[in-house]
Amino acid sequence: MFNEPSVSTGKACLHCKEPIKGRSDKKFCNDACRSGFNNIKYADYNSHVKKVNQRLKSNYKVLQSLLNNEHAKWVSEATLAAAGFQFQFYTHVQLHPDGALFKMVYNYCYTAHERSMYYIAKSVPEHLTVGQFKEQRGLLPI
């Protein structure tokens, strides 16, 4: 069994500032100090990333729920907003070959059109232009 020597390293613990005993490369007294130090160091990062991730997750669930197993549909801005959708939170953008810019929430996508209508889909419709999609569905619902 390896016993750590109780010789001081001459360094102070990065968390509690007590002198560290043991190996010369140690930065903390123990796991509790290491964990306490990292909790403080990453608290700001964690709180910001967590907030944005929660909003993205919520938007994902809204799109999933509104699609309700359909691949794509048109929904009003009011419907999305009423479901709690936050339009400024998306993971990335994807440009459709016809020029439409889709905002992505992971694999789901949405794009705004006239009369406050949004096209939402489980993935960007590579095989179908937005114009063709409109034709298939007739005029946009009001």
For residues 112 and 121, the answer to whether their CB atoms sit within 8 Å is: no
CB closer to Zn ion out of 32 and 49: 32
CB closer to Zn ion out of 24 and 65: 24
Q: Which residues bind Zn ion (CB under 5 A)?
A: 13, 15-16, 29, 33
Q: Hey, which residues does 80 pair with through a beta bridge?
A: none
Give the 3-state secondary structure of residue 35: helix
CB closer to Zn ion out of 15 and 103: 15
CB closer to Zn ion out of 12 and 67: 12
For residues 89 and 52, the answer to whether their CB atoms sit within 8 Å is: yes
* C-alpha span between 141 and 132 (Å, rounded): 15
* C-alpha span between 101 and 60 (Å, rounded): 18
